[in-house]
Structure 1
Amino acid sequence: MSPMRGIALKLASVFLFTIMASLIKASSSEVPAGQAVFFRSFFAMPVIVLWLTLRGDLSTGFKAKRPLMHVWRGLVGVTAMGCNFAALGLLPLPEVTVLGYAAPMLTVILAALMLGERLRLFRMSAVLLGLAGVTIALWPRLSPDAWNHAAMMGLIFIGVSTVMRALAQIQIRRMVSSEETSAIVFYFSLTATLFSLLTVPFGWTWPGWAVVWMLVAAGVIGGVAQIFLTSSYRFAGAAVLAPFEYASILFAVFFGYAVFDEVPTASVLIGAAIIVLAGVLIIWRERQLGLKRGQARSNMTPQG
């Protein structure tokens, strides 16, 4: 184990995922979310195949012991990704990032309902604290003065994305007992590509070359970020790495301001601080309880 190397890879993956999200947001006025999902997934596959080849894991990457589990993970994950990309076109980048932090809170609840994990007072209190942070971040959007159709649709999209991400986390935790990490990574990109093609009848466009190259770059960068994320868990445990997921708010605030002239509100920043605190408490408690979630986390992207 080399914790510093693992942390460096984790931070690099978070940074690259934020760049990818910025590229998707920049192209959102030109292409629909389903088309963006296609580019993100299709152009990540060559990067992932090259990585598997260099690791000598290509054969295991193609081997799906339980194909239907990969199909279900792909369907849930692509829904989460598509809704996340749709939200990026309607809400500021920092706000989408902060609201996405609710996924681990929902995962704790779903793990109790679907996997039979015991939900004790400490973790339940942390979940409620996190949801309070989400409420604070959302509060200005809920006032009548701030009501507008685009913002409300954005909140609906990020809400669906967050629920789907939590379901994807539960599905991956079921899969890691029988499926190789390489297969989970490869088949998610493959199934996401195929499922995204189902959105062609709903309005794909012919964007200019500048937008095309942004989307291609988003796919390649997303693939590299996924590799860095997965590799980070080879050098450090989940309890060490998980808190660094929250560095994404710093990157999101930077890119939101520098690229899109977005300044996060005080409520978003306060809500983010509370959510991060709740998330760290949940991670600490899971470590105390000895819950093994590292493999599942290593296969999750911020989009699903």
Structure 2
Amino acid sequence: MSSLPRPAASHSSSFALSGTTLGIGLMVLGILLYSINDAMGKWLVGAYSVGMILLVRSLGALIVLAPFAHRDGGIGALLHAPHRGLQLLRVALSTTEIGFFYWAVSYMPLADTMTYYLAGPIYVAAMSAIFLKEKIDGARWAAILVGFVGVIIVLNPSSSTLSWPALIAITGSFVYSVLMIVTRQLRGTADSTLLVFSTGAAFLAGAVLAPFQWVTPTPRDLALLLLLGVVALFASFCVNRSLKLAPASVVVPYQYTMLIWAVIFGYIFFNDTPKMSVLIGAAIIIASGLFIFFREQTRTPPGVPDELAEEVAPSNPAQP
């Protein structure tokens, strides 16, 4: 899982896949994979503890990841990874976020938990302006805020909705947002190194917690728990690569698509019928995401490499 080859610029083609466009596509794919992973986890957490899920899913991911990590330098690459402080912070954030999500989803419906996570793009937009020095113009802020209005419509907030599980989910969404910022700062680190660190930390956390609530899984459930890790691995790869190719403030709003999958998977697997407020909010969220996508296509002319985007359009916040 080393770096994806960068598409060559073609001046003869009427369309060239820029880094920003590819980053958006990978974020959308990553969120879909995460949503599949979340639906599987919601089903499994009813029978197994958070510690067990962390342990077995991480084992499955590490088995698949091992040959890629070996190809990219193995232990030596891990020991000499740049920005060790940020690497450790990212590991802590990743493990904490996973634990908070499964903790929340053990009490709440899948769609509710995932919807609380949709506040994330607001956190990321604010933090990317402060910590990553990304320029966020008024139009993009407006689109992000409109998307958040859609989230508020879905949540229909009241005193009853701000329960203890809801606060767990909100905290998890904030931790996830900080994780996105740190991952963007580490975009020079090999994908396999990022994944080994985060997956290995989750494995260790699971190894500590799992014995306290151990339940021997059936062969079918063991296979599903291992598959959970593989799906999460590829989802993480897509999100990590997305944050390397494009500014966090551009790609993270596509986290809003999580709501669409929550509605679909909740209906198919958990027989949850979406309310009208959910459908209205989803429509607003989709519109805001499409606005950001098409606006980015007009800001960077086709065939222009992302490294030159600031020369072509000085307001483009993309960083090399």
**What is the TM-score when the length of structure 2 is the normalising length?**
0.72
Relative distance call for 1:8 and 1:284 in structure 2 (3 A) is: closer
Aligned: 1:130 with 2:156? no
CA distance in 1, matches of 2:124, 2:32: 23
When residues 175 and 81 of structure 1 are mapped into structure 2, their CA distance, relative to the original with a 3 A threshold, is: same
SS in 2 for 1:101: helix
The partner residue of 1:255 within 265, 271, 275 is 265
Residues 64 and 183, structure 1, Cα contact 8 Å, conserved in 2: yes
Tell which deviates more after alignment, 249-258 or 65-74: 249-258
Aligned residue in 1 for 2:217: 208
Query: Equivalent residue for 2:183?
Result: 172
Q: Residue type of the partner of 1:130?
A: G
1:219 corresponding residue in structure 2: 229
CA change 1:58–1:94 in 2 (3 A) is farther
2:111 paired with 1:111: no
Question: Take 2:25 and 2:292, find their aligned partners in 1: how far apart are those partners?
Answer: 22
Identity %: 24
Secondary structure at 2:153's aligned position in 1?
helix
1:100 aligns with 2:111: no
**CA distance 1:284–1:102, change in 2 (3 Å):** farther
Q: Which moved more, 1:129-138 or 1:56-65?
A: 56-65
1:182-231 deviations in Å (ceiling 9; x for gaps): 32122111122224445458x43314314433222211222244445567
Which residue identity lines up with residue 80 of structure 1 in the other structure?
A: E
Q: State the TM-score, normalized to the length of structure 1.
A: 0.75
Q: 2:260 aligned with 1:273, yes or no?
A: no
Whole-Å separation in 2 of the counterparts to 1:174 and 1:165: 14
Residues 118 and 166 of structure 1, relative CA distance in 2, 3 Å threshold: same
Per the alignment, residue 57 of structure 1 pairs with 72
Q: Deviations over 1:147-173 (max 9, x none)?
A: 38xx82332122111101110111112
Greater helix fraction, Structure 1 or Structure 2: 1
Letter in 2 for 1:16: L
What CA distance in whole angstroms lies between the structure 2 residues aligned with 1:57 and 1:16? Answer: 24
Q: Which has the larger radius of gyration?
A: 2
- Separation in structure 2 between the aligned mates of residue 13 and residue 94 of structure 1, nearest angstrom: 17
RMSD of equivalent CA atoms:
3.7
Query: Could you tell me which residue of structure 1 aligns to residue 96 of structure 2?
Result: 79
What secondary structure, in the 3-state scheme, does the structure 2 residue paired with 1:43 have?
A: helix
- Unpaired runs of 5+ residues, structure 1, are 296-304
Native 8 Å contact 1:16 1:222 kept in 2:
yes
Q: Confirm or deny: 8 A CA contact 1:102 1:130 kept in the other structure.
A: no
